[in-house]
């Protein structure tokens, strides 16, 4: 079975640009979460979606937005990129939302110059 897939794996943007990151969950998983991981730190929660509804939002500015599609795939959008947005963006899928069993993708490494 395919795991969580994310695209692109690496990308470089300049300040002020916009980025869209994509995630396909494990088949049968209806929940997708997004995390930001800065080097040397643990993953920081950005969004969680379940059945296309936003279930939770972390402490991130409105420049960050996300959505989940009918096939349960998801997009994370970041507008007006800042240098501090450089990080590994992780997508995780799960069967349910309340047990903490997350299955992560390999991440999208974003570098903002």
Partner 1 sequence: QKEVEQDPGPLSVPEGAIVSLNCTYSNSAFQYFMWYRQYSRKGPELLMYTYSSGNKEDGRFTAQVDKSSKYISLFIRDSQPSDSATYLCASQGSYIPTFGRGTSLIVHP
Residues in touch with partner 1 (CB under 8 A): 4, 33, 35, 40-45, 48, 55-56, 58, 90, 97-107, 109
In whole angstroms, what is the distance from residue 23 CA to residue 83 CA? 23
Report the residue number, 78 or 94, with the smaller CB distance to partner 1: 94
Please, what is the minimum distance in Å from the beta carbon of residue 16 to partner 1? Answer: 27
Question: Cβ(28)–Cβ(2) under 8 Å?
Answer: no
Report the residue number, 1 or 16, with the smaller CB distance to partner 1: 1
Are β-strands 10-13 and 108-112 bridged in parallel, bridged antiparallel, or unpaired? parallel
């Amino acid at each position: 079975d395919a795991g969580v897939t994310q695209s692109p794996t690496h990308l470089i943007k300049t300040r002020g640009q916009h980025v869209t990151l994509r995630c396909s969950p494990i088949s049968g998983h209806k929940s997708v979460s997004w995390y930001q991981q800065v080097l040397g730190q643990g993953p920081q929660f950005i969004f969680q979606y379940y059945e296309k509804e936003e279930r939770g939002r972390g402490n991130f500015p409105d420049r960050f937005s996300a959505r989940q599609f009918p096939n349960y795939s998801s997009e994370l959008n970041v507008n007006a990129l800042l240098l501090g947005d450089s990080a590994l963006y992780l997508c995780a899928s799960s069967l349910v939302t309340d047990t903490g069993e997350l299955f992560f993708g390999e991440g999208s490494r974003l570098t903002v110059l």
